[in-house]
Amino acid sequence: MGSSFSSATKPKIFYPPSPEEILVKKPGGGVGPESLSKLVEEHCPSLRKEFNPPWWLNNGHLQTLFSVAGDFTNIDKVIYERTYLRLMDGGTLGLDFTPPGNTFPDDAPIIVVCHGLTGGSYEAYVRAVLAPACAPVSEGGLGYRAVVVNFRGCAGVPVTSKQLYSAGWTEDLRMATIYLAHKYPRAPQLGLGFSLGANVMVRYLAEEGERSRLESACVLGNPWDLVKNNWALEHTFIGKQVYSKGMANNLVNVLKLHSKALEKVDPPTPSPTSKYEPDSTQASLVCAAYHAALALRSPPLSVFDNTFTRVGGGGPPVWPLASADAYYKHSSSHHVVPHVRKPLLAINSTDDPVVVHAPTSPEEVGSGYTVVVLTQGGGHLGWFEPSSGQVLVGTDVSKLHLRRWMTKPALEWLRLAAEVLVHGHPELPPREVVVDENGWIREVNGVREGLGCRTVESGDLIDGTEVKKEPGMLQGL
């Protein structure tokens, strides 16, 4: 993929060689099959519109760096209500719901969001979609509910176990979908993933297949093949010195923020009502990896991953992994896409300096449920273009008349998934979610032992535009 472009061009849309027939609601009543490609052509017209960046953001580096350095505090206001979930392994997730309270009916569609590498609900790229999606229909919005799954240690979520998160760890997303099925049993869940969170979401869809609690997903800036993309990232000067080291620095800062939870060897004390027993050997390995990572001096991403992520980026039985390369091979999502059994829209940019390699043909995708879109520009989670004829230069987005091209296609896909597709599987009854005798929210006959959660705190309101990012942390990645 290149690093610049000279003029606006329409995105390339790659449909599966044999698109699946998707069960949809018919306008006159009843249901029937429809080709995935026809559904996209009819319901997602923005995918065929040009991406037209301003002259001063005319390549992938500038788009990406503006996403990192821009001031987005005065646009896309979103208020969240946070719920903390304590997991059976001792960890904690932070679920940020919007709009807060019971503004919408219980059966309103829920957009389930997974953020990027060290981001959270405050990220501007998240709010760019949720602000219009969660506005009332009377105000021109979709009228949907959304929840951002803030990973362990991100966006103010405490670390309460000897584990963080990674591109290959899907259990926390899985637990979030189970909790949502318990809280809103009549509401369809729709996935929205960005960058690392996009990779997690695709892997979840592939692992769950027909039984996925996400009825569909839209993923943006997915890194797909972590081996290829990390190699490409670290074999250019800017890639290694700016992006790779910048992302690794963010991860080191996450460790520093949670030193009290990670620096001691003693594993967390198990709950007397949980069958899960903390692994003392794993806890010791994570503690050692934490200290080794803090001793690194300006490492590239691969060095950090080889030092910490391969050890503390997930739990048994897969973690720890032998090396960063083993972690990348295990956690990539490109090779599991054929197992996806829910409609999936994936959007990447051809000049993304972080994700250099993305699928460029239907054969590379290998899934009848997946549509891949490549824009000729946009960088990594940028896609900034003028929202009016006036083009200004600066950093305060509210004064620059800028918008993100990707917002409209994402909204169109979410509406298609929520209002046109038939939800559930006609031959597979939904898995029951219960509260067991010890108060854990769990799946009945769940395939994964030790997967459960409890609400430990809720009700705090968070303004997504006023979250203070920690010193040294880069937004937008």
Interatomic CA distance for residues 37 and 21, integer angstroms: 9
Given 67, 161, 195, 244, the catalytic residue: 195
17 pairs with which residues across the strands?
none
Q: Report the length, in residues, of the chain.
A: 477
CB 384 within 8 A of CB 402: yes
Q: Tell me if residue 89 is catalytic.
A: no
463 pairs with which residues across the strands?
79
Interatomic CA distance for residues 388 and 173, integer angstroms: 38
Interatomic CA distance for residues 234 and 240, integer angstroms: 4
Interatomic CA distance for residues 68 and 88, integer angstroms: 35
Q: Tell me if residue 76 is catalytic.
A: no
Given 67, 352, 357, 367, the catalytic residue: 352
Orientation angle between helical segments 36-43 and 407-419, nearest 10 degrees: 120
Query: Distances from the Cα of 170 to the Cαs of 428, 462, 476, in angstroms?
Result: 22, 25, 22
25 pairs with which residues across the strands?
31
Sheet (strand 433-435) strand order: 12-14, 370-375, 344-349, 214-220, 189-194, 110-114, 145-150, 92-98, 79-87, 453-463, 441-443, 433-435
- HSE-CB for 193 with a 13 A CA cutoff: 32
Interatomic CA distance for residues 154 and 201, integer angstroms: 17
4 pairs with which residues across the strands?
59
Q: Tell me if residue 291 is catalytic.
A: no
Report phi then psi at 51, rounded to 5.
Answer: -95, 120
CB 161 within 8 A of CB 277: no
DSSP-derived 3-state class of residue 81: strand
Which of 293, 291, 325 lies closest to 307, judged by CA?
293
Interatomic CA distance for residues 102 and 229, integer angstroms: 42
Alpha carbon 212 to its chain's center: 16
For the chain, first and last CA: distance in Å? 19
Interatomic CA distance for residues 326 and 432, integer angstroms: 35
Q: Which residues are catalytic?
A: 195, 352, 380
